[in-house]
Amino acid sequence: MRTDIFARLDREPEPPKIEIPRMSRTRLALFGGTSAFYLAIVVAVLISSWLVIVDWKVMLFRPYQQWPELHAFLDYFVVLGQRGPTAVMVAAWLGWRSWRQHTLRPLLVLGASLLLLNTTVGAVKLGLGRLGPHYATQIGSAELFAGGDIFPSGHTANAVVTWGILAYLATTPRARRYLSALSAVVALGVGLTTVYLGTHWLSDVLLGWAAGLLILLALPWCEPLIGRVEDGVLSLRDRLRARRLPVPSLPVASGGPRPAVYAQRLSAGNGGEPVRHPVGATSAARGAASRSALGGAAAPAGSKPAGASGTQGVAAPARHAQPRTYAVGRSPHAPWTPAPAGSRRPPRSRPPGG
């Protein structure tokens, strides 16, 4: 007997009505505040302010030496911020969501967010070129423009975006609250883990949190484009399916003759309506049907139908000859059986001299 848990795994009979988030005033205010925080972190690192001093103090404290018992566990926990494994896990879940809800939006939203993440975070990483704590060369320096690629933290930004997508795509307020709390805990833990392991400065993590949150807040601006892409993909799928459909054919009995198909002719006296003949009708019946469609009875031979003149007349249909019979070698002991009239099968035998 099925339970409600397994019933929820079934595909819904029709696409549900999903409310797409919009750029509200609250979201717009959060976007503006996060953008200001992002710029403040970048400026503080560029001018080597007190934030850089805090980075060095945390680095020289060496947390991984203070609590070595946590090292083994946190080495695995930080994988929740790596783009490859997390993208595969979340894409599998969202793929099932797409199948169940008859929509490609979950997968398209994930793809758009990862594209924005790689573009924005990667550009800042390469542009500032900051070195990590393990490769620092001068104490108290910001280590910028030295060929590095750790500012902002990619693990932290990826954890915010990848797990935050689940809260963004939630269909109920309760699920959205729970998933928001879960994604915040994971993103916070991944960022602090990178500081513990010594792979990032504290300012890298702060900027990574801001970068991931900006992408989540900006997703409603991408929804119209995502909708157009989904419509295009679904229409292409429908066209490909239509090409694969088999062409319907008329049923034919086993061993029987195939139905004859005649071209339809337009009659001048019937308002341009095509003259249709029943399958298997004789040529005489077809000629009578054609003349009756022109508005007159069967006319005598050599006379023109009433109301037809010149080139408007309809020629009488060609008469089909009777099927020919062929002489076949006959055994002297086999009786002669004539072929039935109208049969397309040659006779088995004929009388001598016939």
DSSP state at residue 135: G
Phi, psi of 275 (to 5 degrees): -90, 120
Q: Output the pLDDT for position 47.
A: 93
**pLDDT over 90 at 222, yes or no:** yes
Q: Output the pLDDT for position 310.
A: 44
Find out whether the peptide bond into 257 is cis, omega within 30 degrees of 0: no
pLDDT tens readout for residues 164-189: 999 999 888 899 999 999 999 999 99
217: helix, strand or coil: helix
Closest by Cα among 151, 157, 194, 156 to 59: 194
Backbone Cα Rg of the chain: 41
Q: Output the pLDDT for position 83.
A: 87
Please state, in angstroms and rounded to a whole number, the distance separating the CA atoms of residues 49 and 251: 86
pLDDT tens readout for residues 196-218: 999 999 999 999 999 999 999 99
Least confident residue range of 35-44, 53-62, 95-104, 196-205: 95-104
Closest by Cα among 154, 176, 153, 174 to 164: 176
Confidence of residue 242 (pLDDT cuts 50, 70, 90): confident
Closest by Cα among 299, 296, 290, 297 to 266: 290
Please state, in angstroms and rounded to a whole number, the distance separating the CA atoms of residues 220 and 105: 12
Please state, in angstroms and rounded to a whole number, the distance separating the CA atoms of residues 52 and 64: 20
Q: Output the pLDDT for position 286.
A: 55
Look-up: residue for tokens 């809800």?
101
**pLDDT over 60 at 55, yes or no:** yes
The encoded tokens of residue 40 equal 């403040």
DSSP state at residue 144: -
More confident residue, 312 or 9: 9
pTM over 0.75: no
Q: How far is CA 292 from the centre of its chain?
A: 56
Q: How far is CA 85 from the centre of its chain?
A: 23
Q: Output the pLDDT for position 5.
A: 46
**pLDDT over 90 at 73, yes or no:** yes
The average pLDDT across 70-88 equals 92
